[in-house]
Amino acid sequence: MTELASIITCPECGTTKAEQMPTDACQWFYECTGCHTVLKPLPGDCCVYCSFGTVPCPPIQNGKTCC
């Protein structure tokens, strides 16, 4: 079963926020609600959830490529 909730942690300020992941698109940018830094995926990751979330994005969870 695919998990759609993930907690994103900002590497700049440590702010965490629970977010619902989209099932039909990758999220390449995410603005931190604490410091307003715009997060982008780390090299080798497909989206911000795979880089900064507690749960990888739905396509990766299902063994597929993301985007």
pLDDT digit string (tens) for 16-66?
999 999 887 789 999 999 999 999 999 999 899 999 999 999 988 888 877
How far is 63 from 60, CA to CA, in rounded Å?
A: 5
Residue at 8: amino acid letter: I
Confidence of residue 7 (pLDDT cuts 50, 70, 90): very high
**pLDDT value at residue 10:** 98
User: Whole-model pTM?
Assistant: 0.89
Inter-residue contact 40 to 32 (CB < 8 Å): no
Query: Is pLDDT at 67 greater than 70 in this prediction?
Result: no
Inter-residue contact 24 to 33 (CB < 8 Å): no
Inter-residue contact 2 to 63 (CB < 8 Å): no
Inter-residue contact 27 to 6 (CB < 8 Å): no
